[in-house]
Structure 1
Amino acid sequence: MAMTSDSEDRRAAAKEATGWLIALREEPDDGALRARFDAWLVASPANQTAWSETRHVDELIGRARPALGAHAQPTPVDLGSARRRWRPRRLAVAAAAFAIAACVLLVFTPGILLWFQAAHTTSTAELRLLRLEDGSVVQLGPASAIDMTFVPAERRVRLLKGEAFFEVVRDAARPFIVESGDVRTTVLGTSFEVRLSSEGTDVAVRSGLVRVAVDGPGPPVSEQLAAGDRLRIGSVGQVERSRGAPDEAAAWLQGQIVARDRSVADIVDELGRYHRGTILIADDTLARERVTGVYNLADPRAALRAVASAHGATVREITPWLTVFSRN
């Protein structure tokens, strides 16, 4: 119970610190406001930590702002000298409030429309076993979502987010189809994994045969995979085929990530399914670097630090909802 209380206190302090940042920026010369803020700040160590973290995030945002370039600058309009004195500050405060609100929506309600489409979902670090009406089994990975349509002619599952491992009961008259974006995986009876990420779709086979087809705008793709085969269809249609041990498919069911020449961004995305909040990779070059290794999902933070260490990077928890992965 103490851990829950500490977490709630930290979240409350972080929310209050954000409010103080906006208020002080809007009214920097208000002595009474400053006095109330000072009293809040010394009231608890949690408040002091939250304020320090909030200021740090504000500085990160400030350093990123020049990258927006000239297109982000407002067009000057002469509305009188008095209005010119206060309008830029009001705009900055409004922009800060909007950014904070957007972050809250990003962290606490990601893909909210997607969850309305789904028949089954999981939350962070949650695994769920589903027994389907035909006797097949779906093991749904964390932060994942699927929808299903079973009719006499076929069994169809849509992977909307995340990853799932399928153990399919054979029925020659009723193929089992998994759709993930433009990728369609068709089987009669087999066990295989499908994983959907920002970089594309991965299909890995543990037993039996599957056929993978791509219906996207690029050249048509049709590949047959056997046990140990893995196919990656990138977000822009590139196809990579590889082989590994059959039990590497859905290694997360054994509490592991088995990475073979995957990008840092891809590994961080998978670890993020076990981590509350957002993990931000601050460097695009770092995000594209390659990773090979085995990581223990029992301690996702340690796994994240191991990936960072191998690439000369560090992991910093800026707030309870934001972790930054960077070389700075």
Structure 2
Amino acid sequence: MILRTPMPGRRAIRAQRKRHEDAAGWLLRNRETGQPAAEKAAFRAWLDEAPENRRAYEAAEQLMGEARTAIASDPALADFEVKPRSAAKPVLGTLLTLAVAGTLFIALDGPMRLRADTMSGTGEMPVFTLTDGSTVQLNASSAVAYDYTAGHRTVRLLRGQAYFEVARDATRPFTVEAGSTRVTALGTAFDVRLGDTETDVTVTHNAVLIALEGADQAPLRVTQGERAVYQRSTETRQIGPSDGLTALAWRRGQLVVDNAPLSHVVEEMNRHFSGRIVIANGELARRRVSGTLAIADTNAVLIHLEQALRVTTNRIGPLIIIR
């Protein structure tokens, strides 16, 4: 015998939708300063009108709090500003036009497009050849710019990650600039990752010299099978052994992590996700993850994280909050 739960009718659906809309409206009004006493009384009356109203308001309050905390902890979202609207229609029209144009410019990655010579999208990992015969593969959501002259070859990694196989040219050194880190090839193949908090360099053939802009330290020589990490916040650098297959798993669409912080996994997921994934708080961001993940399959990775870390995920349009 199959028992079926009756589906709510249209009237019930409309009532539920209105209840959630009212809850969101009251939540916003209650956060305003100088709220009139009559409005406060009306809110209390609405709250006591039905248990469903109170549950809807508590759910809206929880979700708003988590979204604000997550957005505040994410630099890309915390820096976003909303322009106040003017009451004057001509000024409002101008502001709306500028706001729409600015939003589209940022949404289409306009600032980076002005700086980069080659970019990759969220679903792309292109391989291309430079004018000297060197080849480059970009990870998803990455960007580079080139500066080739008669005396040097410089590639600036503006965002993301790239793997380089350098063509020999004794008269022109080949250097990759990633933030304040300068990586000079010594006839080599190597990988550079410009992360949110650190820069990683993994050498798969021969050696490189790593120098830090403005630092008094001598250049660091990193050889085949080694990985160097520069922590920007502490201005420290570390070098150790590296498994090339693991370090370059991204070229196969994988992320291999061994006791890595959740923040690192989410950073890599965001390269392949067209929206934005954020973590609700710093303690959760430091939770550790291990495994081999198909990093471009956002849903599969989220399921893995939910099972491994006992976390939950909430979607708000293009935003995913892990809590």
Correspondences of 1:3-152 after superposition (within 5 Å): 59-62=62-65, 105=103, 109=107, 112-152=110-150
Partner of 1:181: 179
CA deviation after TM superposition for structure 1 residue 214, in Å? 1.2
The alignment yields a C-alpha RMSD, in angstroms, of 3.6
3-state DSSP of counterpart to 1:272? helix
Measure how far apart 1:251 and its partner are: 1.4
Aligned to 2:228: 231
| Alpha carbons 2:209, 2:222 under 8 Å: kept | yes
Is the 8 Å Cα contact of residues 174 and 188 (structure 1) preserved in structure 2? Answer: no
What is the alpha-carbon distance in structure 2 between the residues aligned to residue 301 and residue 219 of structure 1? 46
Deviation at 1:155, TM superposition (A): 0.7
Q: Any idea what SS the aligned residue of 1:195 has?
A: strand
Classify 1:65/1:266 alpha carbon distance in 2 versus 1 (closer, same or farther; 3 Å): closer
| Amino acid corresponding to residue 247 of structure 2 in structure 1 | A
Deviations 1:251-299 (A, max 9, x none): 1111211224432111111111111101010011111233333212352
Report how far residue 135 of structure 1 moved: 0.7
Within the candidate set 198, 201, 207, 2:199 is matched to 201
- Matching residue of 1:159: 157
TM-superposed deviation, 1:207: 1.3
C-alpha distance 306-131 of structure 1, shift in aligned 2 (>3 A): same
Match of 2:290 in 1: 292
Q: Match of 1:83?
A: none
Q: What secondary structure does 1:146 align onto?
A: strand
1:107 touches 1:278 (CA, 8 Å); kept in 2? no
Q: 1:210 aligns with which of 208, 216, 223?
A: 208
Larger Rg: 2
Deviations along 1:16-57, one digit per CA (max 9) or x if unpaired, are x99xx78x978xxxxxxxxxxxxxxxxxxxxxxxxxxxx977
Structure 2: which amino acid aligns with 1:60?
A: L
Q: 1:172 to 1:163 in 2, by over 3 A?
A: same
Q: TM (normalized to structure 1)? A: 0.66
- What corresponds to 2:304 in structure 1? 306
Are the equivalent residues in 2 in contact too, given 1:305–1:315 (CA < 8 A)? Answer: no
**Match for 2:243: what amino acid?**
A
Measured after TM superposition, the shift of residue 221 of structure 1 is 5.6
SS at match of 1:171: coil
Q: Distance in 2 between matches of 1:210 and 1:163?
A: 17
Structure 2: 5+ residue runs without aligned partners?
1-19, 30-57, 73-86, 88-95
2:268–2:295 contact (8 Å) kept in structure 1:
no
Q: 1:306 to 1:192 in 2, by over 3 A?
A: same
Amino acid at match of 2:219: S
What is residue 270 of structure 1 aligned with on the other side?
A: 268
Contact kept? 1:206, 1:247, Cα under 8 Å: no
Count of aligned positions: 248
User: What does residue 254 of structure 1 align with?
Assistant: 252
Structure 1 position 160, deviation (Å): 0.4
Q: CA deviation at 1:301?
A: 2.3
Is this contact kept in 2: 1:166–1:193, CA < 8 A?
yes
TM-aligned CA distance change 1:242 to 1:188, over 3 Å: closer
- What per-residue deviation string (whole Å, max 9, x for no partner) do you get for residues 47-91 of structure 1? xxxxxxxx97775335677999xxxxxxxxxxxxxxxxxxxxx9x
CA contact (8 A) 1:143 1:273 kept: yes
Contact in 2 for aligned 1:257/1:296 (Cα 8 Å): yes
